[in-house]
Amino acid sequence: MDAYNSSDDEDVIPPPPNPFANSGTRAIKNMLENAEEARKQSKVASRGLQLVYGAKGSQYLRQRAKNLFFAFYTGVLGHREDRFPTYEDFERFLLDIPHRLDGRHANGTVSESTVVSLQTDVLQVLEETFEGFKISKGNEARIKSVFYTLRQKGLITTTPSREMQWITSNVLFEMLQTTFRNAITTGTPSWSIVIAKALSLALVSATAARVGDVSRSHRYADDYVLKWADVTIKVSEDEVGRPVFRAKITLRHTKGHNGRILIDRYYAAIRAISITVKVTAHDLRRGTA
C-alpha cells in the first residue's frame, strides 16, 4: 500500500484556529437578548419601506414614470392597478406616450433619450411592484421596433436639445463689474492695468472654460450650485430678481501648502495651456498687447 494514501489519524493536520471566529459577539448577544423587539421592529420597518433611493432627480423621474404608466394602465386601458400587467400593456404605453409629452425641441418633438429613460424607469417600477415581471428576448426585439416606428413617424428625434444657461456669463459679468467698481470708487494707478485685468478674465473665460466644468443640480431645495475644482458658487436672487452670487474659494497654492502634491497638478496645467494664451497674458501684463 502506498504510504501517501494512508488514512491514519496521525496524517491529518488540523486547520489553524480562525482568529475571527468570535467577531460580532456583542451585536449577536444584543440581538438575541432583544429578539422579540427586533422581530417586531424589522417587520414594521419592512412593511413601511418606501422604494426611494438615488439623487433627487432620479427619485423624481422614477415617480413620474410610475404616475404616467399607471394613469395609462387604469384610466386608458381600464385595468385595476393591482392586476399583473402584460408586455402588451407596456408596449401600448410606449407607443402612446410621445403624443402626451411636451418636447424641448422647436416643434415640440420629444427626444428619444427621454422616452428611453422613461422606458427604463417604468420597467424598474414594474419589476419592483410585480414580482416576476420580465421582458423576454423576443419582446426586446419588439421594443427596438417600437422606437424605430416612433422615429419614422417623427414622434421622437435623436437630435439633441439645447438648454439656455447664462449662469457662467453672469458670473463673468459680476467679476468684471466688481473690478471696474473698485477702480472707480477706490481709484487706480493705471486704467491700463484695470482694462488688462478685465481682458484677461474674458480671455480665460473664452479659451479655457468648458461646459463640463459646470454641474447643475435639479430637484434640491437649496440654491443652484456651480462647482469647479476649488470654487463653489451658490446662486440666489435678490428682492428684484437679480442673481446674487456667493462664492467659497479654496486657496491651495498659498504659504504652508507648498509641499502638497496638488502643486504638481498646478504646474502640469500650466504646461498644458496653449502658447498663444501664455503670450497674450504676458503681453497684457506688460501693457504691450
159: DSSP letter: S
The per-residue pLDDT for 202 is 80
The closest alpha carbon to 212, from 228, 233, 231, belongs to 228
What phi and psi, each to the nearest 5 degrees, are found at residue 170?
A: -65, -40
DSSP secondary structure letters along 230-265: SEEEEEEE-TTS-EEEEEEE---SSTT-TTSTHHHH
The per-residue pLDDT for 74 is 95
Distance of CA 100 to the CA centre of its chain: 26
* 233: exposed, middle or buried (Cβ count in 10 Å: 0-12, 13-18, 19+): buried
The closest alpha carbon to 142, from 150, 154, 130, 132, belongs to 150
206 Cβ contact partners less than 8 Å away, ≥ 6 residues apart: none
The closest alpha carbon to 246, from 223, 221, 216, belongs to 223
User: H-type helices in the chain, by residue range?
Assistant: 25-33, 35-47, 56-71, 87-96, 112-129, 137-152, 167-186, 191-208, 262-272, 275-286
Q: What is the mean pLDDT of each run of 10 residues along the chain (289 residues)?
A: 57 81 90 92 87 79 93 94 94 94 81 92 92 90 94 88 62 84 90 88 69 53 59 74 73 54 47 65 67
Q: What's the half-sphere exposure (Cβ side, CA atoms, 13 Å) at 168?
A: 19
Distance of CA 49 to the CA centre of its chain: 24
Q: Which residue has the cell 496638488?
A: 262
231 Cβ contact partners less than 8 Å away, ≥ 6 residues apart: 247, 248, 249, 250
The per-residue pLDDT for 103 is 82
Can you give the residue ranges of every domain in the chain? 56-157, 167-286
Q: What is the pTM of this model?
A: 0.55
151 Cβ contact partners less than 8 Å away, ≥ 6 residues apart: 112, 157, 158
DSSP secondary structure letters along 65-77: HHHHHHHIIIIIS
Q: How far apart are CA 248 and CA 56, in angstroms?
A: 24
The answer to whether residues 249 and 234 touch, using CB atoms and an 8 Å cutoff, is no
Distance of CA 194 to the CA centre of its chain: 39
132: DSSP letter: T
Q: Where are the beta strands (DSSP E) in the chain?
A: 110-111, 156-157, 224-227, 231-237, 243-249
Q: Which residue has the cell 452670487?
A: 245
The per-residue pLDDT for 213 is 45
